[in-house]
Structure 1
Amino acid sequence: MDAAVHEREAAAVRERFEAHRLAWGDADGYGRSFAEGADYLTYYGGRLAGREGIVEGHRGLFAGVLKGSRLWAEITDLEFLAPDVALLHARGAVLKGKRTRPGRRALSVQTYVMTREPAGGWLIRAFQNTRYRPRVEALAGALARLAPKAG
């Protein structure tokens, strides 16, 4: 992919990502970010299958416990695996009340696989949301440093 095409496609992927973030709270609007056969893995390990499953899985949340909440999200890495496949890593959190930024304990790390549709737009084909635990990350890093070196 040449540089101009890469920049144009990266901008289109980022635009879809932002539209997805802004659609939070509207189950149908949120669902439009996903491909028909999308997979959505929640931070607690649940799986929502297909666009309709994702929409219905969020409808009750948006009417209940997540009513009035907002989605904070930012892309931390974007890579094209193929001309029509983008891999994104992001951080995200649900904001409630007057919060404008998430606390460390509210952060999740997220993986998105986006595919370009035949009509040219980008949609989310797979999404995984994992709660970020800085203490667990620090412990895992310390244990890795203590492991015997191969060789």
Structure 2
Amino acid sequence: MTDRAAVEAVLSGLGEAWNAGDAAAYARFFTEDADYVTFFGLNTPGREAIESGHRALFEGPLRGSKLVGSGEPPKVRFVRDDVAIVVAGGGSSLDGEADPGRASTVTYVLVREPDAWRVASFQNTRRTPVPGLPS
């Protein structure tokens, strides 16, 4: 498997784990010391906290939610042979229908560890229309 394919497999795996509501599987894609920055600016540091926080979300307000893509492929850029930056669009759906109010641009920094590629940093930014600019 190429590095690009391995990075894209991490993204797919994150989506599958989210859609299954599986916080443990979701967290396994992150490094032990990862930073997870939500769309409202909260940083959840570390794999254990990422798992715990997502468990609460998957059992509570995001129960049954699904991730939806933007329809465009993610931009994957290797800044070193063991570090990739990914910028992608998408969001989550609470009722199976796309919700423009939940659309985000997300940025991942992935690192190649001895056994797999993992997310070292994640940033979620809600997409907000700016008057006078194309969305």
TM (norm. structure 2) is 0.89
Taking the aligned partners of 2:118 and 2:6, their CA distance within structure 1 comes to 10
Compute the displacement of 1:98 (Å). 2.9
Instruction: Number of aligned residue pairs: give it.
Output: 131
* Residues 128-147 of structure 1 mapped to structure 2, 5 A cutoff: 128-135=123-130, 138=133
Deviation at 1:136, TM superposition (A): 5.6
| Secondary structure in structure 2 of the residue aligned to 1:88 | strand
Match for residue 146 of structure 1?
Answer: none
2:83 to 76, 82, 85: 85
Q: Gaps spanning 5+ residues in structure 1: where? A: 1-6, 140-151
Larger radius of gyration: 1
Instruction: Give the partner amino acid of 1:72.
Output: V
% identical aligned pairs: 39
Equivalent position of 2:120 in the other structure: 125
| 1:64 alignment counterpart | 60
Q: Which residue number corresponds to residue 11 of structure 1? A: 5
Alpha-carbon displacement from aligned partner over 1:43-72 (angstroms, at most 9, x marks no partner): 001010000010111111100110011112
Q: Of 33, 41, 47, which residue of structure 2 is paired with 1:37?
A: 33
Go from structure 1 to structure 2 and tell me whether the alpha carbon gap of 1:116 and 1:137 turns closer, same or farther (over 3 Å shift). Answer: farther
Give every structure 1 segment of 4 or more consecutive aligned residues whose post-TM-superposition deviation is greater than 6 Å: none
Equivalence map 1:15-30=2 (5 Å): 15-24=9-18, 25-30=21-26
- Counterpart-to-counterpart distance in 1, 2:132 and 2:121: 24
Query: Structure 1 87/60 Cα, relative in aligned 2: closer, same or farther at 3 Å?
Result: same
Using structure 1 for the length normalisation, give the TM-score: 0.80
Q: Give 5+ residue unaligned stretches, structure 2.
A: none
Output the amino acid matched with 2:130. Answer: R
The CA deviation at 1:137 is 8.0
Aligned to 1:145: none
